[in-house]
């Protein structure tokens, strides 16, 4: 006969109360998202009652030129913001980790400021800033995206710095000395030893920066002009008219995109950490 083992003190997963709690949490977190995705296939102008399955709203989305332009804008901004943030953030991380200099902790603190300052303040500040310096609004694409890209870099690169810095904390400096001892110059030691160690941090930082930039609404809203609508801003303006299944379809695509990106980045990161051990030899 199949007999049940009594539940051991630490086997929380076998207690119904905990299972129920987990189920409830999951429902609370994901029910809205699931509903959003399901109704993107709803064959109805209005979004409330299920009328039948269709994919026509996806086709409609793909043929919506302004929406596609907005998506292209968003991806371009995210790409450049990520690249610039990565370089700046990694440099800042290495500097803060490697050197001691006056006002170091103050500089460290101010660097984290964009993370804690309310986005709305940041957005307004950016709006005033670009107006004050007279940033040209009529540049040809993709230079027209410059202002938004700069704004995105300011709040993205501190995240890169944080992630890379915590990765650097586990670096064994004797490795760098060993490289130099074997004849490597400062640059060669950085390239061959420190950079490979930083890689998982760089990947995670880049992913963070990319997704932050891609779905930023508040700051972008203040810095975008009529010709530089981004994807989230466009979605917002669509919702202002009415919440059609088209909005659902767009949102589903956005979710899909971020999930795929995250999965790829996590996969890459896992593979790299496996290769590079745990930082210490």
* Residues binding other proteins (CB under 8 A): 172, 174-175, 177-185, 188, 192-193, 196-197, 275-281
C-alpha–C-alpha distance, residues 185 and 171, integer Å: 18
**Closer CB to other proteins, residue 184 or residue 254?**
184
Query: Closest approach of Cβ 184 to other proteins, in Å?
Result: 5
The count of other CB atoms within 10 Å of the CB of residue 14 is 12
For 200, residues 6+ apart whose C-beta sits below 8 A from its C-beta are: 167, 269, 272, 273, 276
The CA distance from 162 to 90, in Å, is 9
Measured CA distances, 188 to 3, 171, 176, 197 (Å): 64, 17, 10, 14
Beta carbon nearer to other proteins, 25 or 185: 185
Closest separation in Å from C-beta 190 to other proteins: 13
Nearer to other proteins, 166 or 170 (CB): 170
Q: Find the shortest distance in angstroms from Cβ 195 to other proteins.
A: 10
Q: How far is the CB of 183 from other proteins (least distance, A)?
A: 4
Q: Which two tokens stand for residue 256?
A: 């899909």
Q: Smaller CB distance to other proteins: residue 11 or 181? A: 181
Tracing tokens 């309310």 back to the chain, one arrives at 118
Residues across the chain: 281
């Amino acid at each position: 006969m199949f007999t049940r083992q009594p539940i051991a003190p630490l086997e929380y997963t076998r207690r119904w109360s905990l299972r129920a709690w987990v189920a409830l949490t999951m429902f609370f977190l994901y029910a809205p998202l699931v509903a959003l995705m399901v109704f993107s296939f709803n064959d109805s102008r209005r979004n409330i009652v299920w009328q039948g399955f269709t994919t026509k709203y996806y086709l409609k989305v793909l043929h919506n030129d302004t929406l596609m332009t907005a998506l292209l804008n968003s991806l371009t901004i995210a790409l450049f913001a990520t690249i610039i943030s990565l370089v700046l953030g990694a440099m800042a991380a290495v500097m803060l980790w490697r050197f001691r200099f006056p006002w170091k902790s103050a500089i460290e603190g101010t660097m984290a400021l964009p993370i804690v300052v309310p986005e709305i303040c940041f957005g307004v500040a950016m709006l005033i800033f670009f107006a004050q310096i007279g940033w040209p609004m009529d540049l040809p694409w993709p230079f027209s995206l410059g202002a938004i890209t700069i704004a995105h870099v300011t709040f993205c690169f501190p995240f890169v710095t944080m992630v890379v810095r915590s990765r650097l904390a586990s670096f064994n400096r004797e490795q760098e000395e060993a490289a130099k001892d074997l004849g490597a110059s400062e640059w060669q030691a950085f390239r061959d030893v420190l950079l490979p160690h930083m890689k998982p941090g760089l990947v995670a930082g880049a992913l963070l920066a990319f997704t932050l930039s891609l779905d930023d609404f508040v700051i972008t809203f203040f810095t975008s002009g009529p010709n530089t609508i981004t994807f989230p801003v466009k979605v917002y303006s669509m919702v202002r008219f009415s919440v059609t299944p088209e909005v659902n379809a767009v949102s589903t695509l956005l979710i899909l995109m971020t999930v795929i990106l995250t999965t790829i980045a996590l996969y890459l990161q896992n593979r790299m950490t496996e290769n590079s051990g745990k930082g210490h030899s």
